[in-house]
Structure 1
């Protein structure tokens, strides 16, 4: 798996489930704060773990997961371009 990002998931469904868990944990931490107090903030690390860092990291992983196998990078003469996979 050399050259692959640590943000993409194996499948789109897996990535969307991770996003759902992450957003639910982050929202739950703040919604439950008035009822559970600082204990509710224990959901924050769960959300960040599901996102693999932050919501932006999750979005980057979503784009990578969707585009995996559809785009390829070609570099020649110091220039790199993204092209559709299978096209030369």
Structure 2
């Protein structure tokens, strides 16, 4: 349900969300008009809350482990 196609892509989305949240914390006091777009961007990248992102990562790893490999099909 939450899983991505690749673990690398999922981690990249998480890194982007962390950067946006850090920018919101750093620049939020000086430029409060930046807070909503930065936080909304982080939520979109995480596809919800941080727990949703973490569950998606766990599901992506589980799908990778349970997926049949092309070598085993022969």
- What's the TM-score once normalised by structure 1's chain length? 0.68
Normalized per residue, the structure richer in helix is 2
| Equivalence for 2:7 | 12
Contact 1:10–1:65 under 8 Å retained in 2: yes
Q: Deviations over 1:22-43 (max 9, x none)?
A: 111112112111222x212120
Unaligned runs of at least 5 residues, structure 1: 73-88
Normalized per residue, the structure richer in strand is 1
- Runs of 4+ residues deviating >3 angstroms: none
By relative contact order (CA 8 Å, sep 6+), the higher-ranking structure is 2
In 2, distance between residues paired with 1:29 and 1:10?
28
| Equivalence for 2:33 | 39
In 1, distance between residues paired with 2:54 and 2:64?
18
In 1, distance between residues paired with 2:62 and 2:6?
11
Say what the alpha-carbon RMSD is for the aligned residues.
Answer: 1.5
Greater C-alpha Rg: 1
SS of 1:68's equivalent in the other structure is helix
